[in-house]
């Protein structure tokens, strides 16, 4: 019964139950209690507390560490057939020389799959468009080498280096057609693309857009909020700045948080900002954040379930609250506070 763990609108958790919450990863004392609303069931793995089949699957499945080659095969410039071949190669399902040797067949090792990582990583520092072409060239070249080797060993067919080079270049041109990445429009890039005979993916010219910081209405207090976490999740912090209709700074708020995501930090910044304003009697507020997602969450009343009670307890004291999102360039002071 909830009446046995909530006494006078406070948590009264027994020792064994505290251990259970700790094992589940729930900091029960950080969850505010709202005595005015009826209790409801929440699905803890979901940020909003809503159950779904997808969420249940993610909660119960065993998720292994991501392998190093996954990001190189999930590239849009890699044809699905080639990606499947690369998947088989990295999983050891391709009969390379090393695999054939393990079955007792005497062959000289070619080390085809051992050097893939070095080749693929070599293209990590170049521009996105050329990186797509490089990644495709490594996978495509490995496939062509493997096919030529099989033709020599099992079909007794000789191969022409010129033909293999032409096939390799044709594959690179196919990867260029699949790639959606852009270039930086430099002479070096244009020279490389001209030699490869592929189309140019020129980047769009930058657009200069204006952003403004506006004063609040008369009798209204504007709260600029921001939350940040060093990682996602990691230790985070929040910052708030309060100004009146004349632009005068009435106060600031900076506070550290525990282990949170960036989105949770943005939401907590809004809640703490309103709570601080209510304590000073500033009951008509305009909240501005550089997180569009957080602003939309509060506008649609779809905030994380762990913050619902805290928000309802805080917003109940306010006369009027309106929200807006702005760019970080117009929210730089609060960004520095967080």
| 154 & 258 share domain | no
Closest by CA position to 143, among listed 118, 120, 171: 171
Which ranges in 199-304 belong to alpha helices (H)?
262-279, 292-299
| Residues 129, 102 share a domain | yes
- Domain extent, residue 81, equals 70-196
Hey, what are 222's tokens?
């504007």
**127 and 229: one domain?**
no
Asked if 40 and 86 sit in the same domain, the reply is: no
| pLDDT for the residue 104 | 54
233 upstream amide cis, omega within 30 of 0: yes
Is there a contact between 276 and 311 (Cβ–Cβ < 8 Å)? no
Cα 31 from Cα 18, distance rounded (Å): 14
Q: Quick one: 291 and 246 in the same domain?
A: yes
Question: What pLDDT score does 278 carry?
Answer: 93
Do residues 315 and 307 lie in contact, with contact meaning Cβ atoms separated by under 8 Å? no
44 with 75, same domain?
no
- E strands, 118-220, are none
**Are both 166 and 77 inside the same structural domain?**
yes
Evaluate whether residue 210 is within a structural domain. no
Residue 38 lies inside a defined structural domain of this protein: yes
Give SS3 for 82.
helix
Residue 204 is assigned to a structural domain of this protein: no
Residues 56 and 74 in one domain: no
| CA distance linking residue 141 with residue 168, whole number of Å | 6
pLDDT at residue 109, rounded to an integer = 47
Do 192 and 83 share a structural domain?
yes
Q: Say if 212 falls within a structural domain.
A: no
Measured CA to CA, the distance from residue 81 to residue 102 in angstroms comes to 27
Same domain for 127 and 242, yes or no, is no
The pLDDT profile of the chain, 338 residues, written as one tens digit per residue, is 455 677 666 777 777 777 877 776 667 777 777 667 777 787 877 888 888 888 888 888 877 777 888 888 888 888 888 889 888 888 877 766 555 556 554 444 455 555 777 888 888 888 889 999 999 999 988 888 888 888 887 787 887 888 888 989 998 998 888 888 888 888 888 898 888 888 888 888 778 888 888 999 999 999 999 998 887 778 889 999 999 999 999 999 998 888 888 999 999 999 999 999 999 999 999 999 999 999 999 999 899 988 888 898 888 889 999 999 988 888 777 777 76
Quick one: 142 and 84 in the same domain?
Answer: yes
Total of domains in the chain = 3
For residue 213, tell me if it sits in a domain: no
Shared domain check, 52 and 75: no
Q: How far apart are alpha carbons 313 and 44 in whole angstroms?
A: 21
Among 179, 196, 213, the domain-final residue is 196
Question: Tell me, what CATH number does 333's domain have?
Answer: 3.30.420.10
Helix (H) or strand (E) holding 309: helix 305-315
Residue 278 lies in a domain: yes
Output the pLDDT for position 251: 92
Instruction: Answer whether residue 192 is part of any domain.
Output: yes
Instruction: Report the alpha-carbon distance of residue 240 to residue 76 in Å, rounded.
Output: 41
Q: Which of 161, 196, 231 is the last residue of a domain?
A: 196
| Residue where one domain finishes, among candidates 162, 196, 230 | 196
Residue 8 located in a structural domain: yes
């Amino acid at each position: 019964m909830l009446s046995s763990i909530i006494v006078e609108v406070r948590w009264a958790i027994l020792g064994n139950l505290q251990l259970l919450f700790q094992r589940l990863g729930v900091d029960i004392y950080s969850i505010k209690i709202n005595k005015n609303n009826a209790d409801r069931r929440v699905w803890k793995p979901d940020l909003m507390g809503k159950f779904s089949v997808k969420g249940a699957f993610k909660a119960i499945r065993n998720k292994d560490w991501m392998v190093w080659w996954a990001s190189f095969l999930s590239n849009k410039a890699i044809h699905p057939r080639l990606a499947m071949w690369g998947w088989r190669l990295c999983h050891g399902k391709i009969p390379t020389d090393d695999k054939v040797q393990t079955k007792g067949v005497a062959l000289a090792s070619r080390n085809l799959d051992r050097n893939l990582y070095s080749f693929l990583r070599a293209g990590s520092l170049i521009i996105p468009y050329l990186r797509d072409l490089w990644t495709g060239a490594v996978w495509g070249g490995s496939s062509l080498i493997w096919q030529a080797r099989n033709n020599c060993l099992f079909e007794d067919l000789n191969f022409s280096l010129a033909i293999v080079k032409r096939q390799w270049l044709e594959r690179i041109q196919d990867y260029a057609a699949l790639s959606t990445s852009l270039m930086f429009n430099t002479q070096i890039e244009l020279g490389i693309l001209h030699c490869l005979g592929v189309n140019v993916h020129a980047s769009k010219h930058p657009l200069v857009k204006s952003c403004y910081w506006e004063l609040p209405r008369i009798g209204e207090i504007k709260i600029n909020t921001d939350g940040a976490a060093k990682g996602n999740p990691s230790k985070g912090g929040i910052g708030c700045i309060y100004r009146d209709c004349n632009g005068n700074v009435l106060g600031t708020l900076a506070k550290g948080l525990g282990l949170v995501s960036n989105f949770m930090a943005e939401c907590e910044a809004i809640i703490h900002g309103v709570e601080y304003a209510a304590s000073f009697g500033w009951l008509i507020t305009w909240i501005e954040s550089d997180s569009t997602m957080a602003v939309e969450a509060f506008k649609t009343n779809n905030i994380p379930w762990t913050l619902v009670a805290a928000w309802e307890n805080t917003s109940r004291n306010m006369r009027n609250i309106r929200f807006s999102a702005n760019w970080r360039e117009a929210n730089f002071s609060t960004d520095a506070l967080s």
